[in-house]
Structure 1
Amino acid sequence: MAAISKVLEDDDLLSEILLRTVFTTTLLNSALVCTRWLAHASNRAFLHRFREIHPPRLLGFYINKGQNTPHFIPILPQPRELTAVIRHATSSLGTYQRVPSVPTYILGCRNGNVLIRQHDKIGTTFAVHNMVCPERGMDILPPFPRPQSPYLFDGTAYSRIMSKEEGDALSYLYVLMHQTTDGKHRVYIYILKHGI
C-alpha cells in the first residue's frame, strides 16, 4: 500500500499513467476519482499530449437509406470501452427529429459533433448534435446572413459550411460567394462559435 501511495502521489508519474489510458472514456472515468486526478486530466498541456499519442479513431459512418433519419453503421471490431459511445451514436440522432416527415441530412462529423441539415416548408435549419453527450441537446445555428447589394448577379451564388478545430473546441465557417454584375466575385466568411 505504501508503494502504491508513493507512485500515485508523484504528480509526474500520475500524469504518465493517465496519459496511457488510451481511450477518452477511460480518461474521463479516471478524472472522476478525485479533484487532483481531475486537475491532471483537464490540464491543457496534458490533453494536447494525450491527443497526439491517441488520435481520434473512426467509429463508423452514417448512411441515408431513403428514410428520414440517417443510420449509424459502426466499424467493427471496436474495443469494449467504446461500446457506450457507439450505442449513443447509433440511437441518439433520431430523438432530435423535429417533425417525423422532415428528413435529416448529415453534412459533416468531427470529434463526436455531427453537423446536420433539416429542411421543411418553413425553411432550412442547421444544427450541431454532440454524439458523446446527447443529453446536452442540439445547438441550432443562427440563420445565415445574405449580403444585400444592388450589384449582385443573380444565379451565381455559392455557399458552404466548413468545420475548423481551434484547440480543444470546434467552430464552423460559413462561406458565401457571389458574382457581381461587373464580373468580380465577393466572398463573405462568417465564423460561428457557441451559437453566434
Structure 2
Amino acid sequence: MNVVATAIADVLIIEPKVFGDERGFFFESFNHRRFTDIVGHEVDFVQDNHSRSVKNVLRGLHYQIQQPQGKLVRAVQGTVFDVAVDIRRSSATFGRYVGVELSAENKRMLWVPPGFAHGFVVLSETAEFLYKTTDYWAPEFERSIAWDDREIGIAWPIQEKPALSAKDQLGKPLADAEHFA
C-alpha cells in the first residue's frame, strides 16, 4: 500500500497495491496489522456501511458528538468527492478540510479519524460507497454541519446546488456546531 499524506496530518489517502491482468484485478482492501502500522495505533472497526447515491447527491457533513467514528471510506462504483473537516477545537487545523476524489477506478481510500465531520458528493451518474467505522451508529449523537459553510469554504466540484436529505438541509454553520475538545 502507498500512503499519501494530506494537508491535515491525521487524514490519510491510502492507495492499495492492485494486481491486474486481462482477467480483472485483485487487491487487499483492508489488513488490520498493516492499517495499525499506517495510522500508528490500534484501530478496531465495528461496523461496515454501504450506500448508493445518484449524481449530485451530497451526504454530510456528518459526525457523532459522542461515540465519535473513525471511517475508512472508498467508492466501489462510480466517483465521489470526499471531504473530512477537522472539528477538534484544540487542533491547529480546526475548521480546515481535506477533499479527495475517490473512485472505483483509482481504488483510493481515505482514513477519516474520530474528531472529523465527513461528507461526499457523487460526481458520476451513480456511486456506491463503502465505509468501515470505529464505533456504532448512534442517531441521538449524530450532528450535521452545513455543506456550504463559508468559514470552512469547501471547493465542491459541482455546478449546481446538490440534492440533500432533510437532515442535511438543517446542517449548522461550523461556528454554531458542537465541536470536539
Normalising by structure 2, report the TM-score: 0.25
More helix by share: 1
Normalising by structure 1, report the TM-score: 0.24
Structure index of larger Rg: 1
More strand by share: 2
